[in-house]
Structure 1
Amino acid sequence: MTGPQFLVIGAARSGTTALYQYLAEHPGLFLTEPKEPHYFALAGTTPAFTGPGDRQTINRLAVPDREAYLRLYRDARPDQLRGEASVSTMYHPGAMARVREMAPDARLVCLLRDPVDRALSAYGFMRTRGWEPCATFEQALADEPRRIAEGWHHIWHYVGMSRYGEQLSRALEVFPREQLLVLRHEDMTADPDAVLARVYAHLGVPPVPRTTTPDPHRSGEPRSRFLGRVVSTHHPLKKLVSPLLPTSLRRGLRRRIVARNIVRIGYRPETRRALVADLAPDLDLLEQVTGLDVAAWRSLERPAGGAG
């Protein structure tokens, strides 16, 4: 059994689901199902995270066993490059060293987003699912240290996961810079074809036209918590209906429900100012180790486009 040859390593809530769906339609690429096995972050452990919903999600779905992880690639053809897209790989200390041990020649792809809006999007994602207990982003930020100390899993680390410089510095301690492609979420949103061309060139496969319509996980405040839970989690009702409807119809129905049910959320101007100041040293480090232009992320004004 052979492991991955490329990895989408992060960041969470930065467009990795859309990228995964685009890459999965390339005939020369094979991506695992699930999208996020979380093997390199959690290898050899028994996941026992304690946050709301953690038992139903990461504790149940993660694949920390090596042989079980390698079996995820067993259906790949010999002519396909094998990969996966666990956003925990970039975040968890020690994960990149495990990647190096299994796949030293792996090509790494990292999609990053304005770090404050990424944090807000993660908060809204958990509100959509009905698991975030705090009614405001600011309350959740104040509660983050307690959550980390008590063992809530990485999606709850709203500011922690936005420290990209720290995370990519660890990655570049074990991988050469030429194996890492760093992209910006706003570029993916503005021109997905141009970004995909860069990804395909990095992976060494020919470009193919896009045909899929991505079905990313929207975030925000649900008008109906019940509908939010049904469409955004592994709800029993979804399992009942799924076999009866083709995938394209299910995705279309899900998009329509989400569009009507989810209301975008925001944060106070002073919240952005405080977080930009807090994250400034990490953005300095990110620019230093990657050369990425992140000047727009230092703005004290919220970027256009919000935090869906």
Structure 2
Amino acid sequence: MSNTLKRLPHFIIIGAMKSGTTSLYRYLAEHPDIEMSREKETDFFVAEKNWELGMDWYSSQFSSDKKVRGEASPNYTKQRDFPGVAERMHALCPELKLIYIVRDPVLRAVSQFKHSFIQGTLNPEIQTFYGSHEYEHIMDASKYASQMDAYLAVYPKESILVLDFDDLATTPQKCMDQITDHIGIARHAIFRKGKQNDSVELSRIPAPILRFAQTRSGQRMAAMVPRNARDKVRGLLARGKERRAPEFPADLLATMKSELSAETARFRAMTGHQFANWSV
């Protein structure tokens, strides 16, 4: 079945979480030849989330006749808790172009911890974090080589474009040119620069509202509202006191670096990228 008949994506941003996927989604949505999915994170290929909604639902995420379609779901690179994503993806879209944006794996893990803290979805006591389910979940998303293994088992290496979050932050146009070259469309100047997912703003929104927004009902409600309007609503809701995550103890950071060292070295070898500014 062609991806034209069922309006399937031509490319997918597969992660990593807290590495600039929201910025990429919005930059790409500005391109005249690209339609991004109605919901930024469809999570369609995650069996534990939206796979059961079926092809008609996924196809409905796209409605235009633009040249290419894309989506961005960071949960696609969390193989420990969401296995089988790459296999489902390849069975449905074998010719996909994939984009994997990554950042310093320790900083990424810390950022995800802070995000979960703001959402109110983990135990706020940092002393209980090490060794917990949430710790293993967060660390898994920073094990980039293992995440790549699942995709390289079904997709050719040239189908996967690896980008560094540091480059997106400093030279976003260069990153966007790499993406458009990768997916085979004309380059396009970007206009919306800067942070697209401000954690300070999110931290001022009541945690119960943020948690509801992550549920299926909350996502469906949000999908009915244009993104610009959603941004305005989010700004109006961000009136509470800022919630600050606890600082990471130095010994825990050292442990995380040690646990991610071999994995990161293997990722450098498999991609040919140096990631010179990373801490591990």
* Distance in 2, Cα, partners of 1:282 & 1:80: 37
Question: How far is the alpha carbon of 1:181 from its aligned partner?
Answer: 0.4
Q: Following the alignment from structure 2 to structure 1, what is the Cα–Cα distance between the partners of residues 202 and 230?
A: 22
Aligned match of 2:155 = 175
Looking at structure 2, the residues matched to 173 and 114 of structure 1 have their Cα atoms a distance apart, in angstroms, of 24
Deviation sequence 1:75-134 (CA, Å, 0-9, x none)? 131x42111111122333321122222111111000101111111111111111222223
SS in 1 for 2:199: coil
Instruction: Find out whether 1:119 has 2:99 as its counterpart.
Output: no
Matches within 5 A, 1:45-60: 47=48
Q: TM-score, normalised by structure 2?
A: 0.81
- Deviations for 1:14-41, whole angstroms, at most 9, x for unmatched residues? 1111111111121211111211221222
Determine the structure 2 residue equivalent to 1:84. 71
Q: CA deviation at 1:228?
A: 4.4
More moved, 247-256 vs 14-23: 247-256
The reply on whether 1:72 has 2:60 as its aligned counterpart is yes
User: What is the match of residue 31 of structure 2?
Assistant: 26
Aligned to 2:21: 16
CA 1:89 to 1:132, structure 2 compared with 1: closer, same or farther past 3 Å?
Answer: same
Conservation of the 8 A alpha-carbon contact between 2:45 and 2:51? no
Q: Residues 141 and 88 (structure 1 numbering): CA distance in 2 closer, same or farther, change over 3 Å?
A: same
State the percentage of identical aligned residues.
23
Return closer, same or farther for 1:234/1:196 CA change in 2, 3 Å cut-off: same
What is the CA-CA distance between 1:262 and the residue it aligns to?
4.7
Gaps of 5+ in 2: 1-5
Aligned-partner SS, 1:41: coil
Alpha-carbon separation, structure 1, partners of 2:196 and 2:276: 29
Superposed, 1:217-296 pairs within 5 Å as 217-218=198-199, 222=203, 227-230=206-209, 233-234=212-213, 248=228, 251=231, 254=234, 257=238, 261-263=242-244, 266-296=247-277
Distance in 2, matches of 1:161 and 1:112, equals 10
Greater displacement, 67-76 / 86-95:
67-76
Counterpart CA distance in 1 for 2:85 and 2:226 is 36
Q: Which amino acid aligns with 2:22?
A: T
Per-residue deviation, 1:141: 2.9
- Compute the TM-score of the two structures, normalised by the length of structure 1: 0.74
> CA separation of 1:219/1:91 partners in 2, compared to 1, >3 Å: closer, same or farther?
farther
Distance 1:195 1:169, change over 3 A: same
Give 1:231 shift: 6.0
CA-CA distance at 1:232 after TM superposition: 7.0
* One-letter amino acid of the structure 2 residue matched with residue 40 of structure 1: F
Residue by residue, what CA displacement relative to the aligned partner does 1:120-170 show, whole Å, maximum 9, x if unpaired?
11111111122222332x5223312xx59xxxxxxx811111111111022
Is 1:198 aligned with 2:161?
no
Shift of 1:259: 10
The one-letter amino acid paired with 2:46 is A
Long gaps (5+) in structure 1: 48-57, 149-155, 300-308
Please tell me the root mean square deviation across aligned C-alpha atoms, in Å. 3.3
